[in-house]
Amino acid sequence: MIQTNLTHLTSEEKFNQTLKENENVMVCCGRMGPMCIPVYESMEELEPAYKHIKFADMEFDSPTGNVIRSLPETKNFNGLPFTVYFKNGKVVKATSSIQSMDQITKILDSNFAK
Amino acid sequence: MNDNHYDVIVIGAGPAGLTAGIYLARGKMKTLILNEGTVGGQMVLTHEIANYPGIEKISGFQLARTIKAQALSFGCTIKSNIRITKLEFEKSIKSVEVNGKDTYTGDAIILATGGKSRTLNVPGEEEFKGKGVSYCATCDGDFFQDKNIIVVGGGNSAFEEAVSLTKYAKSVTIVHQFDHFQAFPHAIVEAKNNPKIRFLMESKITEFNGTEKLAMVQIQHQMTKEITTMAVEGVFVLIGYEPSTQKLRGIVALNERNEIIVDQQLQTNIAGVYAAGDSITKRYRQITTAVADGTIAALSAMDYINNRNVKSATQPSQTNILLQHSELSPVIENYQLVNYLH
Ligand SMILES: Cc1cc2nc3c(=O)[nH]c(=O)nc-3n(C[C@H](O)[C@H](O)[C@H](O)COP(=O)(O)OP(=O)(O)OC[C@H]3O[C@@H](n4cnc5c(N)ncnc54)[C@H](O)[C@@H]3O)c2cc1C
């Protein structure tokens, strides 16, 4: 279980529903590890200021994690977490491994205009 | 004083900074903690902490969350993921500019910027981060099943992780810049006895190459300067930690290893500016030592502020003569509290 205050996507159904109900979605798929935690923390901090974006996490090793692991955009990734940004259900950006608050903010601002 | 003025500004929210925050806020100091990264510092890099007295085992993340909650519960303000853009410590009121726009002032400062893992700083390193370049063997080791990988480093963490990575990898090459290792002898023996591990001494990676993911590295021999190319899919960079004091250069006195120089009260060369934790000159760097430093720096900063207030209150300046007894009493109460805490 990922211990964050973000929305937990615990099933494929919930993942699909989240993409359907939200125009802009950021999903961080990882473990409770040192490269993933800073990304979750940044997401928690950005959440109040980016109300037009849904921030969610997903357990990398769960069967649901397959929806992120099997994306063509993550096929060359080999560093946790896999972070994927969706607009209208389509992948607009994906990153592998730890990202700083600045890097995440730049991606949000350029892909999900307010 | 305005809303952006604090009694003490703590820079860094690892165990040292958060502990300082707890002591300061409990001592009724208006306290601001500014942190450039994730709250918790290096603690959140630690899967399991088993040497923190009173807690048998805890994840670094949980310990960080608990200490942060404690600091907040006593009234600290914490701003994380910010960027410090200017520091001015010479005057008695110190100022810190954040994100190039907001300025906070404080009567005292505690520097608790800790340390961070070293990177190689060579072309391709950032580009292939997460696509072959990693800094955490426990996180990413299982992506390298049956692959040829490199571990860069010659210290204990490089050796321990190289051995643990042989669970997954086909081969592990330890690339080290010197002709000898800094790791403990038993760790070296264990690695040397592992048939999957080989060594490339006096060598440095100078470039990472590939298309969509890492495919090869350029390695330079330090004596002959000869450059060779090696095909690898993974490189783990485990070359130790360095103090995060780049922004303090020219502002407080640092030693030749870029550690902050402090006295017994953890005061730097500037009155009212203290430092604590992994970024100061010291031999042992642990959570317990960071927490101890945070405590000392906070108590010293409170002493500094209260002594200064008492001194200026007892000096017959025009303003102080006008002070009412009731205006002085909170200062004196705080002063007694500090002595009690000692
Ligand atoms: C992998 C690993 C495992 C460890 N395991 C253990 C263990 O089991 N037990 C143990 O006791 N110790 C362990 N340690 C050591 C321990 O984590 C450190 O000694 C301790 O965290 C140091 O605390 P600190 O507050 O001084 O600095 P840090 O924890 O480094 O925190 C410093 C904080 O300051 C921030 N910062 C840096 N520069 C600035 C700036 N310019 N402005 C604002 N903020 C800034 C950083 O982002 C960070 O949040 C481990 C360390 C690592 C890396």
* Selection from B219, B215, B226 nearest residue B205 by Cα: B219
pLDDT value for B68: 95
pLDDT value for B1: 64
* Shared domain check, B88 and B33: yes
Contact between A34 and B136 using a beta-carbon 8 Å cutoff: yes
Chain B partners of A76 at a C-beta cutoff of 8 Å?
131, 212-213
Please name the member of B47, B61, B212 whose beta carbon is closest to the beta carbon of A76. Answer: B212
Mean of pLDDT values over A42-65: 95
Chain A partners of B134 at a C-beta cutoff of 8 Å?
78-79, 97
Q: Is residue B341 part of a domain?
A: no
* Shared domain check, B284 and B199: no
* Shared domain check, B103 and B248: yes
The residue nearest atom 15 of ligand 1, judged by CA position, is B286
Whole-prediction pTM: 0.80
Mutate to test the interface with A, among B129, B214, B235, B237 (most CBs of A within 10 A): B129
> What is the rounded CA–CA span in Å between residue B234 and residue B232?
6
B3 exposure class (CB count in 10 Å sphere: 0-12, 13-18, 19+): exposed
Cα-to-centroid distance, B198 and ligand 1 (Å): 32
* Shared domain check, B157 and B220: yes
Contact between A37 and B140 using a beta-carbon 8 Å cutoff: no
Work out the angle at residue B14's Cα, subtended by the Cα atoms of residues B13 and B16, and round it to the nearest 5 degrees. Answer: 100
Q: Are strands B102-111 and B273-275 parallel, antiparallel or unpaired?
A: parallel
* Shared domain check, B153 and B21: no
pLDDT value for B319: 39
Q: How far is A41 from chain B (nearest CA, A)?
A: 7
> What is the rounded CA–CA span in Å between residue A46 and residue A28?
14
Please name the member of A36, A41, A98 whose beta carbon is closest to the beta carbon of B39. Answer: A41
Q: Is residue B93 part of a domain?
A: yes
Provide the pLDDT confidence category of residue A101 given band limits of 50, 70 and 90.
confident
Q: Which helix (H) or strand (E) holds B301?
A: helix B287-314
* Shared domain check, B260 and B298: yes
> What is the rounded CA–CA span in Å between residue B53 and residue B50?
8
* Shared domain check, B155 and B15: no
Phi/psi of residue B84, nearest 5 degrees: -85, 125
pLDDT value for B35: 94
Q: How far is B39 from chain A (nearest CA, A)?
A: 8
What are B233's two structure tokens? 């899919």
* Shared domain check, B210 and B140: yes
Mean of pLDDT values over A55-79: 96
* Shared domain check, B142 and B112: no
Contact between A35 and B132 using a beta-carbon 8 Å cutoff: no
Q: Which helix (H) or strand (E) holds B291?
A: helix B287-314
What are A30's two structure tokens? 């990882």
Chain B partners of A37 at a C-beta cutoff of 8 Å?
38, 40, 44, 61
| Residue-range definition of the domain harbouring residue B44 | 5-117+241-309
Phi-psi region of B71 (alpha: psi -120 to 50; beta: other; left: phi over 0): alpha
- The CATH number for B103's domain is 3.50.50.60
Contact between A100 and B59 using a beta-carbon 8 Å cutoff: no
Phi/psi of residue A61, nearest 5 degrees: -90, 0
User: Residues enclosing ligand 1, CB less than 6 A?
Assistant: B 11-17, 34-37, 41-43, 45-46, 49, 51, 84, 112-115, 244, 247, 277-278, 285-288, 290
Question: What ipTM score was computed for the predicted complex, to two decimals?
Answer: 0.75
What are the pLDDT tens digits along chain B (342 aa)? Answer: 689 999 999 999 999 999 999 999 999 999 999 999 889 999 987 778 889 999 999 988 899 999 999 999 999 999 988 899 999 999 999 999 998 999 999 999 999 999 988 999 999 999 999 999 999 898 899 999 999 999 999 999 899 999 999 999 999 999 999 999 999 999 999 999 999 999 999 999 999 999 989 999 999 999 999 999 999 999 999 998 899 999 999 999 999 999 999 999 999 999 999 999 999 999 889 999 999 999 999 999 999 999 988 877 776 544 333 333 333 333 333 333 333 333
Q: How many CB atoms lie within 10 A of CB B189?
A: 12
Q: Is residue B317 part of a domain?
A: no
How many domains does one find in chain B?
2
Q: Is residue B194 part of a domain?
A: yes
Give the contacts of B67 (CB within 8 A, at least 6 positions apart): B15, B18, B19, B22, B40
pLDDT value for B332: 34
Q: Does domain A7-111 have CATH number 3.30.1370.60?
A: no
Q: How far is A31 from chain B (nearest CA, A)?
A: 8
Mutate to test the interface with A, among B38, B58, B135 (most CBs of A within 10 A): B38
Q: Is residue B327 part of a domain?
A: no
Q: Which residue of B has its CA nearest to A95?
A: B130
Q: Is residue B334 part of a domain?
A: no
* Shared domain check, B251 and B226: no
B332 exposure class (CB count in 10 Å sphere: 0-12, 13-18, 19+): middle
Provide the pLDDT confidence category of residue A50 given band limits of 50, 70 and 90.
very high
Q: Is residue B335 part of a domain?
A: no
pLDDT value for B339: 33
* Shared domain check, B280 and B205: no
Burial B154-179 (b: 16+ CB within 10 A, else e): bbbbbbbbbbebbebbebbbbbbeee
pLDDT value for B316: 56
Q: Do B119 and B125 contact (CB within 8 A), yes or no?
A: yes
Contact between A79 and B44 using a beta-carbon 8 Å cutoff: no
Mean of pLDDT values over A38-44: 91
* Shared domain check, B112 and B46: yes
Is the previous residue joined to B330 through a cis bond, with omega within 30 degrees of 0? no
Please name the member of B39, B47, B143 whose beta carbon is closest to the beta carbon of A78. Answer: B143
Q: Is residue B328 part of a domain?
A: no
